[in-house]
Chain A
Amino acid sequence: MTDTHSTGPFIAAIDQGTTSSRCIVFDRDGRIVSVDQKEHEQIFPKPGWVEHNATEIWENVQEVVAGAISKAKITSADVKAIGITNQRETTLLWDKNTGEPVHNAIVWQDTRTDALCRELGRNVGQDRFRRETGLPLASYFAGPKIRWLLDNVEGLRERAEAGEILFGTMDSWVIWNLTGGPNGGVHVTDVTNASRTLLMNLHNLDWDERILSSMEIPAAVLPEIRSSAEVYGTTADGVLAGVPVASALGDQQAALFGQTCFSEGEAKSTYGTGTFLLMNTGDKPVNSYNGLLTTVGYRIGDQKPVYALEGSIAVTGSLVQWMRDQMGLINSAAEIETLASSVEDNGGAYFVPAFSGLFAPYWRDDARGVIAGLTRYVTKAHIARAVLEATAWQTREIVDAMTKDSGVELTALKVDGGMTSNNLLMQTLSDVLDAPVVRPMVAETTCLGAAYAAGLAVGFWPDTDALRANWRRAAEWTPRMDADVRDREYKNWLKAVQRTMGWIEDEE
């Protein structure tokens, strides 16, 4: 940002995200030296469909890399490695010889494969591949999206079977292009991204042939699955020509890494539009019986993979946006705290934002949002308070499910993301979890995780202990709520959750 930086060397991290691509340059202490960012177009061809133009994304990536390097006033000689982190599950097929995408990338949020997923579940249902992949058959994941493209782009299946077509999530696309594209680009993905395809077997970290044949996906399109931290190749040209490309991690796993959750039982939660909570479960995949996902957390070089349980909350920051944009009760997201702080409690109101059903641990798509407990006493300030509490209680439900599945009690929650600037929310979170909530000093944990992994791969940092030593606590909130109040409020919240269920009666 300003002065007092060492003169290098540095690590560059590329974050190819859902709405924008960013590049951040970090120094050896894990401090940010420079940032550049560019948004890309969100393409909505039909209701429920979301696409990205992969060519635009690659151009933006090149631009932000050049931008961040020039803002840092450094050259490729000062950069020891490039790390990649990316929006997960977004699926692209491209021509191996020309580098041209055969179709827009299908974004993780896209629901066009809903019916296909039901069909693939056959008589077993959405858990048909859960034992192998740790995932339910759902439209987010890459495998069904590949199948849709093969079925719907004319002539694509034949070309794919002839070995002319490559599949990749955004990590693969960026790495292939960085390392030369049609001129010798390496076609790889890392274990964390591969663990979101519904095609990788979690136990041997290889593509699962039985699932490939069930989904009718030719193995020829698939990238090689590599570790999250190892040198995949070197940058072919551009401002960072010759620099090793040395890490890839899905965004949430990168945040887990950036938060240095390297021990079993450590967890991080990223509070953005939605929220993603990941807990390190050590070197064994833990099956979930409470609606969580089992996923690979990361794998460093030849070391054993580290697994994680993942729980996501669909509506957290977006509920605050809804209060601002749809209800007009606040002018900016930050004002929710001002409004909520003007009262002592929720006045008896509970807001369950099941806008598109209930996610983990319930998985009820017949649920819809509810504000329960309304009386004439309730003001907009109480509703604002209920909005913040909704994020806290939903986190509590995920944490409870993780404890049930893993048998590990959460000792502290490391948080990041935009909502961590909300002090009242962070205090409420600590109160309802009955555990300390800790914010690290670098808020950009996703990019930092990718930088850390790349730095480990090239020996910029010696080991994970050195990364832990970089971790700095910026703030910590400790529980202040009485146990009986917490129990009563949790009971009320669970009652409100019950009120959301069964609202939609048979959509057909």
Chain B
Amino acid sequence: MARTIQSLERAAAMLRLLAGGERRLGLSDIASSLGLAKGTAHGILRTLQQEGFVEQDEASGRYQLGAELLRLGNSYLDVHELRARALVWTDDLARSSGESVYLGVLHQQGVLIVHHVFRPDDSRQVLEVGAMQPLHSTALGKVLSAYDPVAHSEAAEAAREAFTPRTVTSMAGFESVLDLTRARGWGSDVEETWEGVASIAAPIHNRRRMPVGAVGVTGAVERVCKEGELRSDLVAAVRDCARAVSRDLGASRF
């Protein structure tokens, strides 16, 4: 009985082949070098390509090593890179929603605001980049806690302070909020952190579908909600923005 998996061995051989000698190889070169049928080689190459380990040159059809291999050893996402990628999408979200936009990442026991776009009116606003928000009560924090296990354990261990009468502080209550967040794919905060303020947020994923941050809009509760419900057009705009940033980071459609 074989103790190893043949297709993985073949894939490894292909990567070694592409790493040495000529940088780009055609399908038939690869197949003949490894003594494989073209169809078999193609199937393995296509899988490697989907994972980003191999790239195919559009013009020549030849294969080369993919950028994903370089990223394997160096996998964290710089928050300033995240901001640079998110810039155009968050500007557009602020414009279409008419509300201010925040981009947050997990930092220690809270949400670090790494990007902030002003509400597009002429009012005086102060840039809040560098500010911290709580994990358990804000829309950004709930999204991070729902999707990132590290954020979840931070929020679970922290003292969940009641900022308003609506803040959910019990562990069971918090878990059901996170279940809801995961089920619908977005999180919210209606006067649970600040009186009169409501937010909607959605998760940003990287190319390996790891949650790397959350993006959301924040505004006066009477604008963000309509007839007691969060406005569905705002929810859609926030989710579109999160998907667009995720796509820019290389995440596939989900």
Contacts and interface: CB of A to CB of B under 8 A. Distances in A.
Interface residues of A, number: 29
Contacts of B142: none
Interface in A1-47: 1-4, 29, 31-32
Nearest to A331: B74
A224 to B, nearest CB: 37
Contacts of A441: 91, 94-95, 117, 120
Q: For chain B, which range describes its interface: under 10, 10 to 19, 20 to 34, or 35 or more residues?
A: 20 to 34
Contacts of A474: 91, 94, 117-118, 120
Contacts of A2: 92, 96, 237, 240, 244
Contacts of A31: 92, 95-96
A476 B74 CA distance: 33
Interface in B54-81: 74, 78-81
A465 to B, nearest CB: 14
Given A32-B92, A421-B80, A475 B237 contact: no
Contacts of A366: none
B162 interface: no
Interface string A407-450: 00000000000101111000000000000000001110000000
B18 interface: no
B81 A334 contact: yes
Given A332-B81, A472-B120, A475-B118, A443 B125 contact: no
A334 B233 contact: no
B127 A477 contact: yes
A85 to B, nearest CB: 18
Interface SS of B by simple majority: helix
B88 interface: yes
A421 B95 contact: no
A443 B78 contact: no
B96 A4 contact: yes
A472 B95 contact: yes
A283 interface: no
A337 interface: yes
A333 B80 CA distance: 9
Interface in A333-370: 333-338
Nearest to B81: A334
B24 interface: no
Contacts of B13: none
A335 B77 CA distance: 10
A3 B240 contact: yes
Nearest to A438: B118
Nearest to A423: B129
A344 to B, nearest CB: 14
Contacts of B125: 473, 476
B89 A1 contact: yes
Contacts of A418: 84
B116 A475 contact: yes
A25 to B, nearest CB: 14
Nearest to A426: B127
Contact of A421 (B84, B89, B122, B127): B84
B80 A475 contact: no
A2 B90 CA distance: 12
A334 B118 CA distance: 22
A423 B84 CA distance: 10
A215 to B, nearest CB: 43
Contact of A3 (B79, B84, B236): B236
Interface string B77-111: 01111011001110110111000000000000000
A71 to B, nearest CB: 14
A199 B224 CA distance: 57
Nearest to B120: A472
Contacts of A331: 74, 78
B127 A475 contact: yes
A442 B87 CA distance: 10
B79 A338 contact: yes
B83 A443 contact: no
A472 B125 CA distance: 12
A31 B96 CA distance: 9
Contact of A476 (B81, B84, B118, B120): B118
Interface in B179-209: none
B91 A443 contact: yes
A421 B83 contact: yes
Contacts of B80: 334-338, 421-423
A471 to B, nearest CB: 10
Given A337-B80, A422-B80, A476-B125, A443 B74 contact: no
A192 B80 CA distance: 36
Contacts of B236: 3
A334 B91 contact: no
A443 B84 CA distance: 12
Contacts of B117: 441, 474-475
A154 B95 CA distance: 55
Interface centre among B78, B83, B87, B233 (most CB of A within 10 A): B78
Nearest to A475: B127
A476 B127 contact: yes
A335 B118 contact: no
A476 B89 CA distance: 18
Contacts of A442: 91
B55 to A, nearest CB: 18
Nearest to B82: A334
Interface in B227-243: 233, 236-237, 240
B133 to A, nearest CB: 17
B88 A443 contact: yes
Contacts of B233: 4
Contacts of B88: 1, 32, 443
Given A2-B237, A476-B125, 19 more contacts: A2-B244, A3-B237, A31-B96, A32-B92, A331-B74, A331-B78, A332-B78, A337-B80, A418-B84, A421-B84, A421-B87, A442-B91, A443-B87, A472-B95, A472-B120, A473-B122, A474-B118, A475-B127, A476-B127
28 contacts: A1-B88, A2-B237, A2-B244, A3-B96, A3-B236, A3-B237, A4-B96, A29-B95, A32-B92, A332-B78, A333-B84, A334-B83, A334-B84, A335-B80, A335-B81, A337-B80, A338-B80, A418-B84, A423-B83, A423-B115, A441-B94, A441-B95, A441-B120, A472-B94, A472-B118, A473-B118, A473-B125, A477-B127
Q: Which 6 A-B pairs have the closest CB atoms?
A: A334-B80, A472-B120, A334-B81, A421-B84, A337-B80, A2-B240
